[in-house]
Amino acid sequence: MTDTMRAIVFDRYGDPSVLREARVPVPVRRAGQVLIRVRATGVNPADGKWRSGMFERSRPLRFPHIGGYDVAGEVVAADAGDLAPGTRIVALLDVVAQGGYAEYAVVDRGSVAVIPDRLSFEDAATLPTPGLTGVQMIEEQLDVQPGQTILLTGATGAVGRFALHAALGRGARVVAAVRAKHVAMAEALGATRAIALGEGVSAEGAWTGAPFDHVADTVGGAVVADLCRRVRADGRIRTVSTTPIPSDGLPVAPVFFGVHADAARLAELARAAAEGDVVVEIAARLPLAETAEAQARVDAGTGGGRIVLIP
């Protein structure tokens, strides 16, 4: 192993053109961390938001910064007696530390799950951010109970698919609000009911059923506001979107939440993915050198599929 590695870095906030390939030092593992040889990195919508400077005030990055926070690969080094070199793992990296658009990455042991034999590195790399976000929204933020009716917006997106799977697994009824062109897909994924959102469809008129117990939102903005008015006054609205939902006239205020690392839930997601219970399609596999192209495509929307980079 050499002391330096290939990575995609940026030195200032901006559009995908700020990304450049560089040779940088291999990150140094501290006690309690794992050094990974990265084999696949998932590209998330959030990657472009961090790159653009959206979170500059609340969580500034240090430059040069390596983006990419969903990695799958092999253990190079870990604490003595823990994960053996070569063990296949998947992890959610800490954003403000060094990321995974690189040949190597370090991650806290508590953010790591072992990949089941049947799951490829590429499929594993689609899991951490969307999977943990979707599951945490349903299980931690909403504590969805059997028989409850949940409104889930963007249910065919990456986060939405995992939220749908988690909510159905808890015995909830899920009303999936998606673009008109995704209604059939939402039904195929098992939504109890799928309705069209936006694109000239009156959201208010689209739902005349009983009030929702809770709302799980992955879309944000005014387009979901009418439907959110149908939540019970004692219900909750949780959103992961950085586009706020206008709160005028809503029975309860929408609350934003951010994903956090969770090794046990990540292991469970990897098991479910290996069994084929929940799948995020891979929209494209691109070499690491094409990170800017990958981010531009994700910024424009990939229809719920994930782009995976191969270093």
Interacting residues toward ligand NAP by CB under 6 A: 44-46, 129-130, 133, 154, 156-160, 178-179, 182, 197-198, 218-219, 223, 240-242, 258-259, 301-304
Report the alpha-carbon distance of residue 240 to residue 165 in Å, rounded.
17
Residue found under tokens 């469970």: 268
**Measured between alpha carbons, how far is 295 from 147 in angstroms, rounded to an integer?**
39
- Cis bond upstream, residue 64 (ω within 30): yes
Tell me how far, at minimum, the Cβ of 115 lies from ligand NAP, in Å: 20
Least Cβ distance, residue 261 to ligand NAP (angstroms): 11
259 vs 282 by CB, closer to ligand NAP: 259
Distance CA 154, CA 136 (A): 16
Q: Tell me whether residue 243 or residue 247 sits nearer to ligand NAP (CB atom).
A: 243
Buried b (16+ CB within 10 A) or exposed e, 104-122: bbbbbbebbbbbbeebbbb
Between 88 and 179, name the residue whose CB sits nearer to ligand NAP.
179
In one letter, which amino acid is 83?
Answer: L
Q: What are phi and psi of 72, to 5 degrees?
A: -130, 140
**Radius of gyration of the chain from Cα atoms?**
20
User: 79 vs 277, which CB is nearer to ligand NAP?
Assistant: 277
Q: How far is the CB of 146 from ligand NAP (least distance, A)?
A: 25
Q: Which is nearer to ligand NAP, 33 or 218 (CB)?
A: 218
- In the complex with ligand NAP, which residue's Cβ is closer, 112 or 178? 178
Closest residue to bound ligand NAP by CB: 157
Closest CA to 72 of 118, 43, 36: 36
Residues found in the chain:
311
For residue 73, which of 45, 44, 113, 33 has the smallest C-alpha distance?
113
User: 255 by DSSP, 3-state: which?
Assistant: strand
Shortest Å distance, C-beta 99 to ligand NAP: 15
Shortest distance (Å) from residue 210 CB to ligand NAP:
23
Task: For the CB of residue 64, give the shortest distance to ligand NAP in the complex, in Å.
Answer: 23
Helices 291-300 and 45-52 sit at what angle, rounded to 10 degrees? 100
- Minimum Å distance from CB 55 to ligand NAP? 11
Which token pair is 180?
């008109």
Cα-based angle 304, 306, 311 (whole degrees, multiple of 5): 170
Pick the closer one to ligand NAP by CB: 158 or 308. 158
Q: Specify the residue, 9 or 223, whose C-beta has the smaller distance to ligand NAP.
A: 223
Least distance CB 195 / ligand NAP (angstroms): 11
Interatomic CA distance for residues 119 and 266, integer angstroms? 13
